């Protein structure tokens, strides 16, 4: 286990608005187990809250109070806006600037959308490449939500400007010139039925092809918008250091993952000395997120390096593959499973870690 | 953070009134913390207009999300400061414009004389504790907390290894914790 000092330095880094160097899942799992570090986080939160008192107080403008109260009077407030500031469901666009203080692009969540954004994040100059995390938003950093919204506004502005300049732009004049032969062809076709039929067929093919492409494009855009919105929602939640460090440090369920001692695959541990058993071992913790969403975090070491493993959940009557992860060159792997319906995970169940290619059960633990 | 006392209760009560959408409670919270937050926002953004915007955003966040605050997870002040600092750093990094001049006059910020005395005493305790930190610790806190630099940027600025910045931040926070605990600043 890593030293508490190291973990605390990472936690402070996180609380100060930067993504830590260690994977977020490691820190959360440590917090889940360590009440001293949880207490440390709460205390550091309080102490850092006093730091501004060390400053010479500055008088705000006298009308600021009035402006705030006027804005509040116009705002429906917490009752009708959204129940969770970290995770809005309706007013997503309005809340894009809310609490987006740290961008955690991905913590090895096994979903394509996270992978896409992770790749995008890795291209940014401030990306923490090693962990695939993005630091506090910088000048050029990837800022899901805020930048997307700005880009959206820019796009809208561009659209309006384009409309205005359309009639007189050089492009429009060029288009007119290119359409001229087509007009002449149509005029000729009106006089010759054979040519008209051919042109009609071509037109149908072209228009049909375009329509199919347009439909495909618009459905892709819609899907992209939906995934972006959903991703932004996730980010909103993941992004908040307070949320993660203060609100979510106690898992709803947990499991110790240990090597299998018996069963159809035989033991996976090695007895190096009497009583000294080595083999894969790790921890899992289920955290409540928001609404019905939960996150199951798993970290295990002692596996084969650079190998793929499957995380599965087994009850007396069910077997569910939750996802696959790949270990690093030290044989350490972690996985974050996002459960849309976290209630389905609340029943005690065995978590299985299985070698992906052989199906061999290498570690297990009771999630309860 | 105010010393553990009925002051904390008052903050809780104000928050509960804000949860019930009582605008006057928001005004009271502003009277209590507006200057503190404005000072912090101004210190980070170095611009009067940005600091105003940050403080307004902070109080609007409180207005909208008061229901999510829980007293057992931190004081109102710590919550407000965390929101304000995050907003200020976002502003700082989004904008890169010249600063505007601003008067630095201390203010009583609408508090009663008794509250003002208590607040000044509390602030003096924090200031003393902060000033008693070794210079090397204060330097990293200045860079990271008040100037909004990342720890890597702070390491570059102070010409020390990144790991040293991390450990100094931790040690500085721990020293401040001990010093404030000794003065009764504990929950």
Minimal Cβ distance to B78: which of A17, A46, A81: A46
- Strands A276-278 vs A270-273: parallel, antiparallel or unpaired: antiparallel
Note whether A12 contacts B166, CB cutoff 8 Å: yes
**A162 CA: distance to closest CA in chain B (Å):** 27
Q: Which residues from A are below 8 Å from B185, CB to CB? A: 46-47, 50
Mean pLDDT of B158-166: 92
Closest by Cα among B32, B85, B71 to B187: B71
Asked if the C-beta of A43 comes within 8 angstroms of chain B's C-beta atoms, the answer is yes
Where is mean pLDDT largest: A30-39, A188-197, B73-82, B163-172? B163-172
Q: How far is B55 from chain A (nearest CA, A)?
A: 9
Paired residues of A319 in beta bridges? A314
Q: Which residue has the higher pLDDT, A258 or A213?
A: A258
Token pair in block for residue B35 = 């200057």
Instruction: Supply the pLDDT for residue B102.
Output: 34
**Residue A18's pLDDT band (cuts 50, 70, 90):** confident
A355 or A132, which is more confident? A355
pLDDT digits (tens, 9 = 90+) for B38-96: 999 999 888 899 999 999 999 998 998 888 777 777 888 988 998 899 888 888 877 65
Q: Which residues of B are less than 8 Å from A100 in CB distance? A: 90
Q: Which of A78, A139, A242 sits opposite B64 (nearest CB)?
A: A78
Q: Are B146 and B88 in contact (CB under 8 A)?
A: no
Rounded CA-CA distance B90/B86 in Å is 6
Q: pLDDT: is B100 or A324 the higher one?
A: A324
Residue A158 has pLDDT above 80, yes or no: no
Least confident of A40-49, A114-123, A142-151, A357-366: A142-151
A155 versus B9: the higher-pLDDT residue is B9
A38 touches chain B (CB under 8 A): no
Contact B35 A82 (CB under 8 A): no
Please give, one letter per residue, the 3-state secondary structure of A198-259.
Answer: HHHHHHHHHHHHHHHHHHHHHHHHHHHHHHHHHHHHHHHHHHCHHHHHHHCCCCCEEEEEEE
Kindly indicate the confidence band of residue B122, based on its pLDDT and cuts at 50, 70 and 90.
Answer: confident
CB contacts of B70 in chain A (<8 Å) are 247
Maximum mean pLDDT: which of A157-166, A180-189, A240-249, A278-287: A278-287
Confidence of residue A14 (pLDDT cuts 50, 70, 90): confident
Confidence at residue A177, expressed as pLDDT on a 0 to 100 scale: 63
**pLDDT of res. A196:** 67
Contacts with B, A 145-164, CB within 8 Å: 146
Which pLDDT belongs to residue A102?
31
For residue A164, pLDDT over 60 is answered with no
Packing angle of the helix pair B23-45, B76-94 (nearest 10 deg): 50
Give the residue among B123, B132, B117 at the shortest CA–CA distance from B36: B123
Residue in chain B lying closest to A80 (CA): B64
Output the pLDDT for position A107. 32
For chain A, say whether B117 makes contact (Cβ under 8 Å).
no
What proportions of chain A, in percent to the nearest 5, are helix, strand and coil? Answer: 45, 20, 35
B21/A71 Cβ within 8 A = no
pLDDT the model gives residue A195: 65
Lowest mean pLDDT among A67-71, A87-91, A205-209, B162-166: A87-91
Tell me whether B15 touches chain A (CB under 8 Å).
no
pLDDT classification of B174: cutoffs 50, 70, 90: very high
Comparing A157 with A299, which gets the higher pLDDT? A299
The predicted pLDDT at position A281 comes to 85
Hey, of A10, A40, A60, which one would you mutate to test binding to chain B, going by the most B CBs within 10 A of its CB? A60
d(CA A195, CA A337): 62
Q: Residues A179-205: what's their mean pLDDT? A: 67
pLDDT value of residue B40? 93
Cβ pair A52:B56 closer than 8 A: no
Helix ranges restricted to H, B20-75: 23-45, 48-65
Inter-CA distances, A77 with A146, A343, B4, Å: 22, 30, 29
For residue B180 the two structure tokens come to 């404030």
Q: What is the pTM of this model?
A: 0.54
Give the least confident one: A73-77, A163-167, B103-107, B182-186: B103-107
Structure tokens at A26: 């490691």
Q: What angle do CA A193, A195, A197 make, to 5 degrees?
A: 70
pLDDT at A218 over 70: yes
How far is CA B69 from its chain centroid?
Answer: 17
Q: In this predicted structure, what is the pLDDT of residue B139?
A: 92
Q: Is the pLDDT of residue A57 over 60?
A: yes
The answer to which of A249-253, A350-354, B44-48, B130-134 has the lowest mean pLDDT is A249-253
Angle CA A332–A333–A336, to nearest 5? 150
A147: nearest CA in chain B?
B94
In A6-86, DSSP assigns E strands to none
Angle of the B113-131 helix axis to the B162-182 helix axis, nearest 10? 140
CB contact under 8 A, B1 and A101: no
User: pLDDT at residue A128 above 90?
Assistant: no
Q: Is B179 on the interface with A (CB under 8 A)?
A: no
Query: Measured between CB atoms, does B93 come within 8 Å of chain A?
Result: yes
Q: Which two tokens stand for residue A263?
A: 């069963």
Answer whether residue B119 shows pLDDT above 70: no
Please say if the pLDDT value at position A178 is more than 80: no
Residue A136 φ/ψ, nearest 5 degrees: -45, 140
Please judge whether A49 and B43 are an interchain contact, meaning their C-beta atoms are less than 8 angstroms apart. Answer: no
The pair of three-digit structure tokens given for residue A358, joined into one six-digit string = 């052989």
Beta bridge partners of A320: A313
Q: Quick one: pLDDT at residue A235?
A: 57
What's the confidence (pLDDT) of residue A125? 34
Q: Which residues of A touch B187 (CB under 8 A)?
A: 46
Distance CA A42, CA A45 (A): 5
Least confident range from A15-19, A260-264, A347-351, B170-174: namely: A260-264
Could you report the per-residue pLDDT of A66-95, keeping only the tens digit for each?
999 999 988 876 543 333 333 333 333 333
Cα–Cα dist A109/B128, whole Å = 46
* Spatial contact of A324 and A308, defined as CB atoms under 8 Å apart: yes
Name the E strands within A262-307. Answer: 270-273, 276-278, 281-290, 293-301
Higher pLDDT, B10 or A312: A312
> Residues of chain A with pLDDT > 90: what percent?
8
Mean pLDDT of chain A: 67
Give B31's contacts in chain A (Cβ within 8 Å). 65
Residues of B with Cβ-Cβ distance to A128 under 8 angstroms = none
Q: Give which of A132, A142, A145 is closest to A336, Cα–Cα.
A: A132
Q: Is some CB atom of chain A closer than 8 A to the CB atom of B41? A: no
**Alpha carbon distance A163, B184 (integer Å):** 65
Question: What average pLDDT does the segment A162-175 reach?
Answer: 51
Chain A residues touching residue B175 (CB < 8 angstroms): none
């Amino acid at each position: 286990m890593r030293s508490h000092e190291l973990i605390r330095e990472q936690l402070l880094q996180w609380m100060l608005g930067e993504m830590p160097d260690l994977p977020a899942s490691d820190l959360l799992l440590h917090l889940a187990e360590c009440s001293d570090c949880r207490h440390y986080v709460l205390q550091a939160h309080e102490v850092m809250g006093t730091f501004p008192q060390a400053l010479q107080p500055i008088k705000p403008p006298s009308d600021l109070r009035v402006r705030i109260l006027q804005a509040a009077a116009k705002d429906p407030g917490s009752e009708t806006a959204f129940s969770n500031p970290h995770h809005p469901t309706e007013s997503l666009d309005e809340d894009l600037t809310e609490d987006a203080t740290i961008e955690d692009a991905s913590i090895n969540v096994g979903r394509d959308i996270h992978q896409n954004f992770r790749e995008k994040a890795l291209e940014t100059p401030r990306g923490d490449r090693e962990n695939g995390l993005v630091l506090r938003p910088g000048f050029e950093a990837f800022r899901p939500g805020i930048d997307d919204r700005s880009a959206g506004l820019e796009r809208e502005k561009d659209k309006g400007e384009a409309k205005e300049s359309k009639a007189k732009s050089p492009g429009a004049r060029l288009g007119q010139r290119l359409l001229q032969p087509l007009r002449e062809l149509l005029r000729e076709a009106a006089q010759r039925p054979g040519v008209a039929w051919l042109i009609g067929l071509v037109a149908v093919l072209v228009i049909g092809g375009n329509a199919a492409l347009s439909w495909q494009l618009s459905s892709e855009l819609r899907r992209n918008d939906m995934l972006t919105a959903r991703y932004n929602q996730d980010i909103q939640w993941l992004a908040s250091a307070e949320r993660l460090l203060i609100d979510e440090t106690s898992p709803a369920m947990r499991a110790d993952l240990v090597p299998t001692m018996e069963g159809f695959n035989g033991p996976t541990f090695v007895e190096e000395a009497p009583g000294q058993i080595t083999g894969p071992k790790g921890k899992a913790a289920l955290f409540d997120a928001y609404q019905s969403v939960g996150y199951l975090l798993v970290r295990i070491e002692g596996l084969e390096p650079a190998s793929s493993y499957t995380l599965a959940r087994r009850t007396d009557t069910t077997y569910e593959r939750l996802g696959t992860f790949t270990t690093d060159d030290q044989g350490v792997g972690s996985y974050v499973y996002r459960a849309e319906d976290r209630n389905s995970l609340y029943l005690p169940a065995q978590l299985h870690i299985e070698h992906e290619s052989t199906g061999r059960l290498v570690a297990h633990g009771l999630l309860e | 953070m105010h010393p553990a006392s009925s002051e904390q209760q008052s903050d809780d009560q104000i928050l509960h009134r804000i949860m019930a959408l009582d605008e006057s409670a928001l005004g009271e919270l502003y009277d209590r913390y507006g200057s503190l937050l404005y000072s912090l926002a101004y210190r980070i953004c170095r611009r009067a207009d940005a600091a105003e915007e940050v403080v307004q955003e902070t109080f609007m966040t409180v207005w909208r999300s008061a229901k999510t605050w829980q007293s057992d997870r931190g004081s109102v002040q710590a919550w407000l400061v965390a929101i304000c600092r995050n907003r200020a750093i976002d502003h700082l990094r989004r904008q890169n414009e010249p600063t505007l001049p601003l008067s630095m006059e201390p203010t009583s910020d609408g508090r009663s004389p008794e509250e003002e005395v208590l607040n000044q005493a509390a602030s003096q305790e924090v200031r003393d504790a902060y000033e008693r930190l070794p210079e090397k610790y204060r330097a990293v806190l200045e860079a990271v907390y008040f100037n909004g630099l990342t720890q890597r940027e702070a390491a570059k600025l102070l010409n020390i290894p990144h790991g040293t910045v991390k450990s100094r931040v931790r040690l500085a926070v721990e020293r401040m914790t001990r010093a404030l605990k000794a003065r009764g600043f504990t929950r």
